[in-house]
Chain A
Amino acid sequence: SAVISQKPSRDICQRGTSLTIQCQVDSQVTMMFWYRQQPGQSLTLIATANQGSEATYESGFVIDKFPISRPNLTFSTLTVSNMSPEDSSIYLCSARDRGTINYGYTFGSGTRLTVV
């Protein structure tokens, strides 16, 4: 199955700054997804990243706050811009693993962000 390398694993950032999270997949995938997860809560989809087109954002998330890049079929970045303490969360990237017949999705190990 596909393996996704995500970095950084954690960071502590000052409010007002930006952080870029990177995800590298070891195989080509059409779509990548970015999620946010508050501790003890479920995963909330931020956006879907397609190669060669703008990302599609879910309700409540905007491109100015969470710009996404998808330069090729194995890589994507999510930037958390102009951070505030409310952005403290775990951010995860994901891709559908087409190498399996059971439609499982693979996730990166997550980025634990603390904004102070």
Chain B
Amino acid sequence: GQSLEQPSEVTAVEGAIVQINCTYQTSGFYGLSWYQQHDGGAPTFLSYNALDGLEETGRFSSFLSRSDSYGYLLLQELQMKDSASYFCAVRAHNTDKLIFGTGTRLQVFP
């Protein structure tokens, strides 16, 4: 099976940089994804790492290290609108199922 662990909560101030970690135990997966979910909203796709290394998309970057069973989402130049929950997720081998991590609630303060 798969399990993905994240810190439950992270706080930061506007303009800062924050890193949200994801450690996983899985028998095999195609890649690590990150999703953002605002309160009352649906999850929205942020980024995907198929291979080890860093993927950059604007203010957001995501990193994967399969040898360390670890990934992270890096958010730069934080804005108030970044306050949301963030989930890592994997698509398991031989299925299209997306399995979500425990989730991290990010609060950005002025």
Contacts and interface: CB of A to CB of B under 8 A. Distances in A.
Contact of B45 (A41, A43, A106, A110): A106
Q: Is the interface of B mostly helix, strand, loop or mixed?
A: strand
Interface residues of B, number: 23
A42 B42 contact: no
Interface in A61-116: 92, 94, 96-97, 102-110
Contact of A108 (B42, B91, B101, B102): B42
Contacts, number: 52
Interface in A10-44: 30-31, 33, 40-44
Interface in B1-34: 30-31, 33
A104 B44 CA distance: 8
B80 interface: no
B43 A103 contact: no
Contacts of A103: 30-31, 33, 48, 50, 91
B100 interface: yes
A109 B42 contact: yes
Interface residues of A, number: 23
A92 B42 contact: yes
Nearest to A9: B40
Contact of A104 (B33, B95, B103): B33
Nearest to A45: B97
9 contacts: A30-B96, A31-B96, A33-B98, A92-B42, A102-B48, A103-B48, A108-B42, A109-B42, A110-B41
